[in-house]
Structure 1
């Protein structure tokens, strides 16, 4: 009830500022609206985090090896196990870096209140197509790439943290076995999204934040979090430089560049797999 009330308090002013931004003719007014939108979103996240800390006994262990800047431009990459990952990422990074922007499924626009809030905050909505749809209409294959470029073009001129769950879906043992993943605690990483963000934003990004999330008692549900059944959450954050050889390439049409990105990402995933094992046993 408190989380719902917090949302009802924050979303109306968020939408009002978004409308003012949309119709304002002057750039200084639009920039002021951007600042207000970020402040409202940060307040909503901060209040949610405070309530989780106050009404549960969940222990947060944040290990941050990074120089974080609230005015920076980051690509944030994390493993993904549960929807609880999102409030944990927000708890660890809110107001330390710019607001996390997620690439969302287009269907999520219709979530009551939150869909409009995500739209107001310029979260990019992506429409996924099945293999059968792409076979019938090959031209659909480029629409996600175009949407990524449009979103990143907006982010070039404002502080931003572009969030990417590199595995593309939540980890389960069934998916792990189906993929025949070479990693113990991770699914295979998907390099396409990372490559497109690096290509679209290029040198505007300051660095990569490599986030590893571990639940010692196993991945919980949101109900487990609200019901005080999550004993501890461990979040490790490391800042990484963006390799120069990954900038300015053509992931779609250059096989050598595509292999270079995939090799680099697989190397990060080997390290992350080992880090998860360490965090689970610590």
Structure 2
């Protein structure tokens, strides 16, 4: 693992690589995205979206190759066999660091279609990359606090409608819809503030998953439940860039999507909300137990 000055040099080289790679692939991406904006027809999208996704997949492959080269510790990834690139998936994962996104991309790239994340609306203003996310139809969600939602309950429907429109686009070509059900990165302070019943997780938010299932659940081949653990401590993105992420353990399992979840309305059906919360809570408890077991290997 790079140490001292060598580690910093590796980090600088990583940033240089990422910037150069981003500029190169975005130069190919943006003209096609503008063409899609001018011709917003379903028939055209079915032709142009696979091209845009292919550019993004090549971009991810280059970045993943770089990070694989600079990491000293081999990653332990299990459960990503038997997947199909030409199909639809819903992916749910715990969230600890910005490094999670690169871990997911490296573990699933070319095994399933391009991962499409639900992003905070503010991220659309990130130079270059924000436009790339927009070009690839990543949905941008406006986060509303509990006080805002109490004052104006219609704001809850606003994000649900944004998710529905995004999922309608995703249904045209094979896509992987990615959700971090916790809604934010895990920290011990956040866990305590929430009074989370889990040791390594925040309480999951069911809304994004439920809307995606309702909008295009019949398209999904399965839901891929992903658990990421960092036995040597959660790395920051800078740690990853410097080649000092430590051990990375990824576990995946495919879960069937209950047919009833594709028809019920999460927003108006109280009985369904209760059922869905229990279903997700069972998964979250299993995930918490798995992370605890993996973290117990810290000194192994």
Would the TM-score normalized by the shorter structure come out above 0.5? yes
How far did residue 159 of structure 1 move?
0.5
1:163-189 CA-to-partner distances (Å, cap 9, x unmatched) read 010111111111111111111111111
Aligned residue number for residue 84 of structure 2: 69
Aligned residue number for residue 61 of structure 2: 46
2:181 corresponds to which of 151, 163, 166: 166
The 1:210–1:66 alpha-carbon spacing in structure 2 relative to 1, beyond 3 Å, is farther
Structure 1 distance, partners of 2:24, 2:240, is: 22
Aligned residue number for residue 5 of structure 2: none
Please tell me whether residue 204 in structure 1 is matched to residue 219 in structure 2: yes
Do 2:223 and 2:254's aligned partners in 1 also have CA atoms closer than 8 Å?
yes
The 1:262–1:227 alpha-carbon spacing in structure 2 relative to 1, beyond 3 Å, is same
The 1:20–1:171 alpha-carbon spacing in structure 2 relative to 1, beyond 3 Å, is same
How far did residue 28 of structure 1 move?
5.4
How far did residue 27 of structure 1 move?
5.7
Do 1:65 and 1:239's aligned partners in 2 also have CA atoms closer than 8 Å?
no
Unaligned runs of 5+ in 1: none
TM-score using structure 2 length: 0.89
Aligned residue number for residue 195 of structure 2: 180
The 1:136–1:191 alpha-carbon spacing in structure 2 relative to 1, beyond 3 Å, is closer
Structure 2 distance, partners of 1:73, 1:18, is: 22
Aligned residues: 282
How far did residue 231 of structure 1 move?
1.8
How far did residue 56 of structure 1 move?
2.9
Do 2:181 and 2:204's aligned partners in 1 also have CA atoms closer than 8 Å?
yes
Structure 1 distance, partners of 2:130, 2:80, is: 33
Aligned residue number for residue 130 of structure 1: 145
Q: Which runs of 4+ in 1 moved over 6 A?
A: none
How far did residue 244 of structure 1 move?
2.5
Structure 2 distance, partners of 1:80, 1:25, is: 34
Do 1:74 and 1:205's aligned partners in 2 also have CA atoms closer than 8 Å?
yes
1:144-167 CA-to-partner distances (Å, cap 9, x unmatched) read 011011011111111011101011
1:78 corresponds to which of 85, 93, 118: 93
TM-score using structure 1 length: 0.95
Structure 2 distance, partners of 1:129, 1:166, is: 16
Unaligned runs of 5+ in 2: 1-15
2:243 corresponds to which of 212, 217, 228: 228
Please tell me whether residue 262 in structure 1 is matched to residue 277 in structure 2: yes
Do 1:103 and 1:163's aligned partners in 2 also have CA atoms closer than 8 Å?
yes
Structure 2 distance, partners of 1:276, 1:192, is: 24
